[in-house]
Amino acid sequence: MAAAATAATAAPGAPGMDTRLDQETARWLRWDRGFCRYLEKQFSDLKQRGIVISFDARAHPPSGGNSKRFARLAATTFITQGIPVYLFSGITPTPFVPYTVLHLKLCAGIMITASHNPKQDNGYKVYWDNGAQITSPHDKGISQAIEENLEPWPQAWDDSLINGSPLLRDPSASINKSYFEDLKKYCFHRSVNRETKVKFVHTSVHGVGHEFVQSAFKAFGFAPPEAVPEQKDPDPEFPTVKYPNPEEGKGVLTLSFALADKTKAKIVLANDPDADRLAVAEKQDSGEWRVFSGNELGALLGWWLFTSWKEKNQDHSALKDLYMLSSTVSSKILRAIALKEGFHFEETLTGFKWMGNRAKQLIDQGKNVLFAFEEAIGYMCCPFVLDKDGVSAAVISAELASFLATKNLSLSQQLKAIYVEYGYHITKASYFICHDQGTIKKLFENLRNYDGKNNYPKTCGRFEIAGIRDLTTGYDDSQPDKKAVLPTSKSSQMITFTFANGGVATMRTSGTEPKIKYYSELCAPPGNRYDTDGSTCDYYSLKFLIDLCKC
């Protein structure tokens, strides 16, 4: 990303420079200084409570930069200002940082990671004291503080200063123990897990997830999953994949499928390199592998967590305080389940920074936030982490598959049963690569002035467009005052078209990549169905969006 003080930033390393003069490192130090000064203004007890910092396994040898070094430099910045730092001694999944913020009641958290970005990138992800990613006004405040602290502090480059400091603390052992103890509370069928015949393969895609998913399986009473040996250990070169992103599907899972076929495993679980996302694939009776989309796995996990909750809570009055969340570009399947079952559903803007903060607001009001997800394979199954968590999602998915096996059901069969009961939700999401900001702006302006100035499209082929929501301009024609309810931002592009037949299509720009993303969904009420292979949805959503994108 271009700006430092968003919830997460990502930028390429700077090759060929002396380490002490490395412009890339200098930029990281500016972020550290600005964030430190902003926290000092916001928290009078910062020097009592402190912050947590952790890192993934990324490294960029040409520039001498790596996540651990950047984490230690961040710790140096804070410790030299008298602020306690809980610095993990080894790599961790990203969700361990927001977990630590809440568990230790800290002021903030920093995670050095670029998640599933290309190998040359790295990033800086920031959490507030509520355990969620930062939003406005803190993002703007931090950006301003960075601009006001451009000059390097004395000895800022010397991370040896923190060795032996009483302000430096390693939370690794205690947090590992408490995280997995908390995770055990979401195990509903330990005896099933111990006895299951379902076999699992896990890949961490050269990232940090292996050790932690193994521990999660142990916490749930499972035998350990088979780990893909070529991808088990951290490797910042990501040598076996073109992109270290399991959201890309089968191309990233080739080695996992081969191992699963060899070991007769039915389920593949794949984390991205910082283990906050999860992809799941299942061997079909035909012998083919089905990789579930983020929306499909969201439907399965939402159904499972509600079903498990309902078994433990026979008092139906508790439904009034039960919530599930998803992002506005994700499937509306949770809304359909909520309408039939009687709990609450809310949608937020795209990204877990919005869902995490909304979940915390609800929790502080005494509500029970059972589940949240986004279509980009991110799942919050346990509210002790107010962000997506691929570790907990992996083991909860394994328990779901094992429980279904006792009923002679597969994940695919259960997904179909969910659609039969709550209505088919057929989705299609993809993206276009575009590096030219001028082209992107022109594309979205064409949509806003499709049929004359300030006139959005009224039809898509033979389909009538019933509603327009533009979260760049703040326009929403479904509201009496035509003003959008969700937060708006002029710095990003996002337009949603709602069709008279129940379809929804959204286009938006990515905050981290040069992509124009599109999402479409056809929703049928229970008892009705569209073509279940999604071909109609795919064809019309793709044709519509390509036609509108022509500049």
Residue appearing with tokens 């998640």: 115
Do 39 and 84 contact (CB within 8 A), yes or no? Answer: no
Diameter of the chain by CA atoms? 70
Long-range contacts of 467-473, Cβ-Cβ distance < 8 Å, separation of 24 or more: 467/496, 467/497, 467/498, 468/495, 468/496, 468/497, 468/498, 469/495, 469/496, 469/498, 470/494, 470/495, 470/496, 471/349, 471/495, 471/496, 472/444, 473/448
- Residue 323 has, within 13 A of its CA and on its CB side, a CA count of 23
Q: Is 129 helix (H, G, I), strand (E, B) or coil?
A: coil
Q: Which residues is 348 bridged to in the sheet?
A: 327
Q: How many helices (H) and strands (E) does the chain have?
A: 16, 24
Distances (CA, A) of 352 to 25, 271, 348, 355, 373: 28, 17, 9, 5, 8
Burial of 344 (0-12, 13-18, 19+ CB in 10 A): middle
338 Cβ neighbours under 8 A, 6+ residues apart:
324, 344, 345
- What's the sign of the alpha-carbon dihedral 328, 484, 141, 5? positive
**What positions carry a catalytic annotation?**
115
Q: How many CB atoms lie within 10 A of CB 34?
A: 23
**CA distance linking residue 320 with residue 343, whole number of Å:** 6
Q: How far is CA 442 from CA 107, 460, 518, 550, in A?
A: 42, 20, 16, 10
Tallying the residues shown for the chain, one arrives at 551
Measured distance CA(526)–CA(512) in Å, rounded? 37
Give the CA angle between residues 407, 191, 232 to the nearest 5°.
90
- The secondary element (H helix, E strand) that includes residue 292 is none
Q: Which residue has the tokens 């006139």?
A: 455
Spatial separation of the C-alpha atoms in residues 76 and 155, rounded to whole Å:
9
d(CA 26, CA 14): 11
Expressed in angstroms, the distance from the first to the final Cα of the chain is 26
Residue 52 to residue 175: CA distance in whole angstroms? 11
Where helices occur in 342-427 by DSSP H, the ranges are: 352-364, 390-406, 411-422
> What secondary structure, in 3-state letters, does 422-467 show?
HCCEEEEEEEEECCCHHHHHHHHHHHHCECECCCCCCEECCEEEEE
